[in-house]
Chain A
Amino acid sequence: MALMTVYVDGERHRALPGQTVAALLLATGRRSWRTTRLGGRPRGVFCGIGVCYDCLLVVNGLPDVRACLRELRDGDRVETLRGARLPTGGTETGIVRPAADEADEADEVA
């Protein structure tokens, strides 16, 4: 099967079918891909099995996806997550809008 093409913060990467987001990010040398809401401290994979919620990031615009569980699909766009970010678009549009500063931050990350 052919390698897939995925994007991490806009950067193009090759990924293998069956590869999780966390495995790809570790393989590309990243140790962390999220900062905490309160202290702004870096976090990456911790439990590896979907229990700790430390490895959250954004996949195709949807925040709070567990990198350790999510398998990559061709064309996926992965973004690191800084602080808290609220979902926009899709079925969740309009529940809560991101505050202005968070929206700025989201742009910066994208």
Chain B
Amino acid sequence: MSGPPPISSPPLVVVVGAGPAGSRAALSAARCGARVVLVDSEARVGGRYERQPAAVTDGVIASATHPLELAIASQPRIEHVARATVWALEPGPAPGRHLVHLQQGPADDRGRPPRTLTADALVLCTGAFDRVLPFPGWELPGVVTAGAARTLAEGQRTAVGARAVVSGTGPFLLPAALSLLDVGAHVLGVYEAGNPARWLRSPAAVLRDGGPGRLAELASYAAGLARGRVPYRTRHAVVAAHGRDHVEAVTVARLDAGWHPVPGSEQRLAPVDAVCVGYGFTPQLELPLAAGCAVRDGRVVVDGRQATTVPGVYAAGELTGIAGAQAAAAEGELAGLAAVADLAEHAWATAGGAAAGGAADRAAEGAGTGLAPPPPARVASAAARVRSGQRFGQALARAHPVPGGWRGWLREDTLVCRCEEVSYGELRDAVVARGADGMRALKLACRAGLGACQGRMCGRSTAELAAAFLGSPVADPYATDRRPLAQPIRLGDLAGPPDEPGDVPPDVTPDVTPDPPVSPDTR
């Protein structure tokens, strides 16, 4: 780092994703004096799990204002850029700085206005999406992710179907089922493929790993299912969906510990018009990979303060592991604080402050950039909540593994890649007969992962299927996650005139007066 150009004053922290993690990152950075641009694809902050369920009021579908929204709206240093998509990241003018290219406007419209931000620090909170394992009939209309069912129910007051089954693994199936009940659907059953009994049914373990809040949350889900008379069966899963133009019936089977269907246990359930499936989550890795962040076991590698392996880039929330909204909020808060602390440190170092050293001097130097270095007690408190969240996440992952028996649910003609309509048989031939030994090779040999979703839906499952044929992991498991264009952009827009890189700061007075206390945990 020899003589980097000075960072802007006050420095600009760009936060991508305004869910539980991103909104806390924005708040904590802004409260320490940074300018923050909070970019999100949705109209409102809160992500998918932290907003009030919508209602139709005065002829408008909308949810009541969440306290989090108020906190962000009343923070003058935060500019919330809604309905926006970050489609590319580039290294910026100096190490640690990045150019963030985004477009804003109605989803997938043409001519969405482009904008480029020069981020002095970048906090990635892009979250995760439901993982769905392939099974016969999963491409039929009416088969949706558990997240889709919940998003439509809570955000749009719309039931994906009238007679639904929920299947998969993990506690996140429960709120999906409840959201369906809430919009009037009949839920025929929740089929949990795993057997999390030892953990989820042991209050002591949940208390130890997650604390009383999570215990209460799980208890309320269980009570809700009981009220709705929804059967909850462990070691069972929907292993096939049937229908011509949409789902009409499902086959539910009992599974052994390895998720092989127990012969003779298959039961047909009909009529069914919605199947809501989720086998955990897949972090949205495009931007971390574009920034060059190290990824291990499908998650972004961060240190004890949410810094990734790339200077100036932080990650929080489901990118670093799945542990629920509370954990994501703590990680976001810590990431925002760490970003500011590093920027203040950087300003102090480049101002030649290395010779004399007290914290008071540093605070004074920080004030030169408009930054107030975060109080150590706040950092420690956030870090403690992050560690608790990580324990919960690890316990969750242990309680909900995805063993390989699901491969036995597939038939020769079961689609593995929905976009390119590649069957299990074609995938096997590509690996076994044509020597495709990696994700790139598979794309070329059989088109799996080549379609519109760019392997987002099939990538992990395809890698596992190929690995089973090969007898060893594929060479390039993240190849499908490396997408130079993180989000699609219309060719006409890409070919349009470039906009000027610039910060476009919100008009704020850089002061370091602490905000009126607003509890970040507004759940």
Contact = CB atoms under 8 A, between A and B. Distances in A.
Interface of A: 1-3, 16-20, 22-23, 26-27, 31-32, 36, 38-39, 41-54, 56, 59, 62, 64-66, 68-71, 73, 87, 90-92, 95
Nearest to B454: A53
A2 B59 contact: yes
Nearest to B63: A18
A50 B107 CA distance: 9
B109 interface: yes
A90 B111 contact: yes
B246 A48 contact: no
Given A17-B59, A19-B156, A27-B158, A48 B148 contact: yes
A62 B139 contact: no
18 contacts: A16-B56, A23-B61, A31-B142, A41-B421, A43-B141, A44-B141, A49-B148, A51-B456, A53-B452, A64-B452, A65-B109, A66-B107, A70-B106, A70-B108, A87-B490, A91-B492, A91-B496, A95-B492
A46 B145 contact: yes
B59 A3 contact: yes
Contact of B147 (A26, A47, A64): A47
Contacts of A54: 418-419, 453
B22 to A, nearest CB: 15
B492 A90 contact: yes
A2 B147 CA distance: 30
Interface string B128-168: 01100000000101111101110110001111100000000
Task: Report the contact-size class of chain B (Cβ under 8 Å from the partner).
Answer: 35 or more
Contact of A46 (B41, B107, B148): B148
A90 B108 CA distance: 14
Contacts of A50: 41, 107
Contacts of B149: 48
A22 B159 CA distance: 11
A92 B491 contact: yes
B503 interface: no
Contacts of A53: 419, 451-453
Given A1-B58, A45-B144, A52-B457, A38 B492 contact: no
B483 interface: no
Contact of B148 (A16, A19, A45, A62): A45
B176 to A, nearest CB: 11
Contact of B59 (A16, A44, A69): A16
Nearest to A40: B421
Interface string B38-67: 000101000010000010101111100000
Most buried by B among A39, A51, A62: A51
Contact of B491 (A16, A23, A95): A95
A96 B284 CA distance: 31
Contacts of A23: 61, 152, 156-158
A8 to B, nearest CB: 15
B111 A26 contact: no
Contacts of B457: 46-47, 51-52
A18 B154 CA distance: 13
Given A32-B245, A36-B421, A42-B245, A69 B156 contact: no
A3 B59 CA distance: 6
Contacts of B452: 53, 56, 64
Given A65-B107, A71-B43, A87-B490, 9 more contacts: A19-B61, A23-B157, A38-B420, A43-B139, A49-B148, A52-B457, A54-B418, A56-B452, A71-B106
B158 A47 contact: no
Enumerate the 4 nearest inter-chain pairs by beta-carbon distance, A residue then B residue, closest first.
A48-B148, A91-B492, A53-B452, A69-B107
Contact of B60 (A17, A51, A91): A17
Contacts of B421: 36, 38-39, 41
Interface string B245-265: 110000000000000000000
B54 to A, nearest CB: 7
A87 B110 contact: yes
B493 interface: yes
B141 A69 contact: no
Nearest to B58: A1
A17 B144 contact: no
Given A47-B145, A92-B492, A69 B41 contact: yes
Contacts of A26: 152, 158-160
Given A2-B59, A47-B457, A52-B457, A42 B110 contact: no
B5 to A, nearest CB: 35
A69 B492 contact: no
Listed residue (B156, B421, B491, B496) with the most chain A CB atoms within 10 angstroms of its CB: B156
Interface in B415-460: 418-421, 451-453, 456-457
B418 A52 contact: yes
B453 A91 contact: no
A2 B58 CA distance: 8
